[in-house]
Amino acid sequence: MEQYRVTQQCGTEPPFRNAYWDNHRPGIYVDVVTGEPLFTSLDKFDSGTGWPSFTKPIDKSNVVEKSDRTLGMERTEVRSSQGDSHLGHLFDDGPGDKGGMRYCINSAALRFIPVEKLQEEGYGKYLPLFEKKK
C-alpha cells in the first residue's frame, strides 16, 4: 500500500499522480496514520513540483525536522511528531513573502478534511482559521 510505503518506509510518491497536488478546496490536512493536524489549505501553494506544498505547518509542534543524507545530498526530512510518519521534505525555495519555506509533502501521508466536515470530524477548533476576516 502506498500510504504504508511513504509513511513507514520513507517512500516518495510520483509527482502529479497523487491525490492532493492540485487540490484547491478549503480545509486541513492531517496525518493519515494518527489524524494529527499538519497543514491548512490557507498555507498551500502551487510549487509546480507535482506534490502538495505548504509555507508552514498548522502548528510547528506537530512536525519534526530531521537531517536526511540518503540521496547523497543534504535535505531536511519532515515527519509527524506524534505518529513519526514520514511526510516529505522541507526546502528553502518557497514564496519569499510567506517566509521562503516549502514543505513538500506526499499526498499518501495525508488525509484531507474539507472545512464543512471539520466540526463533525473533531477538528472544529480550526474553523476560525477559515472565517472571513472582517
Among the listed residues 81, 33, 21, the one whose alpha carbon sits nearest the alpha carbon of residue 57: 81
Annotated active-site residue 10? The verdict is no
* Size of the chain, expressed as the number of residues it contains: 134
Helix-strand-coil percent breakdown of the chain, rounded to 5? 20, 30, 50
Q: Annotated catalytic residue: which of 104, 105, 109, 110?
A: 104
Residues with a known catalytic role: 104
